[in-house]
Every structure is written in C-alpha cells, then in structure tokens.
Amino acid sequence: DTAVSQTPKYLVTQMGNDKSIKCEQNLGHDTMYWYKQDSKKFLKIMFSYNNKELIINETVPNRFSPKSPDKAHLNLHINSLELGDSAVYFCASSDTGLKASPLHFGNGTRLTVT
C-alpha cells in the first residue's frame, strides 16, 4: 500500500491555466505538507496543515491555494500558472510533534508550464 500518494505524476500545461494536484496519506498522520523542489534539487516548504488547519504558509504567491478536506488529504490548487512554477511538487506527512517524527514523502508531481 502506498503511504503518501499524489496525482498526477506529470502535469504539462500552458501559462495562464489553473491546475490542481491531489495528495492522500494512509498513515494516520495529523500533519501534511507541500514542498517545492526546483531544478537544482533545492527543497522549500510551501504549506503545512495540522488536522485540516493551516499552520505554515511560507512566502508563496496567492495563486497557490492549499485545501485540506480532512486530515488524510491535502490538495494544491494553482491559478494562472507561470513559467516559474515549473518544478517538482512533493506532498509529505508526519505525526504531530515534529522533532523526532520524520516526514514521509510522496513520489512527486513534475509540473511543466509552457
């Protein structure tokens, strides 16, 4: 069974479009995250939800809007896509109490904006 699954795996779209990426975890974790990995492999936190409540919202454009219908799901909606949004987006989850609780990552969604 896949622990953290995200769809789609690949997403190719044109500038200006709106797209969504879905994420689900079956680990029973309370906290979920979205990370962005750029072409140089640098990983940056975007959002974090704990029990459906937004707890981290880094300096991300308003075009990005996370939605957590329940604690097992965290979706990412992106409006008016730009070339610079091209990256790999990773969903992750962890138990509450971050200090010793590792993140479990999905396999990523490679977004290409043309």
Partner 1 sequence: GDSVTQMEGPVTLSEEAFLTINCTYTATGYPSLFWYVQYPGEGLQLLLKATKADDKGSNKGFEATYRKETTSFHLEKGSVQVSDSAVYFCADTGRRALTFGSGTRLQVQP
| Site of interaction with partner 1 (CB under 8 A) | 4, 33, 40-43, 45, 48, 55-56, 90, 92, 98-100, 102-108
Concatenate the DSSP letters of all residues of 50-88 into one string.
ETTEEEEE-S--TTEEEEEEETTEEEEEE-S--GGG-EE
**In the complex, minimum distance from the CB of residue 77 to partner 1, in angstroms, rounded to a whole number:** 21
Q: Which is nearer to partner 1, 75 or 109 (CB)?
A: 109
Helix (H, G, I), strand (E, B) or coil at 22: strand
Rounded distance between C-alpha atoms, residue 50 and residue 48, angstroms: 7
The nearer residue to partner 1, 14 or 28, going by C-beta atoms, is 28
Nearer to partner 1, 72 or 103 (CB): 103
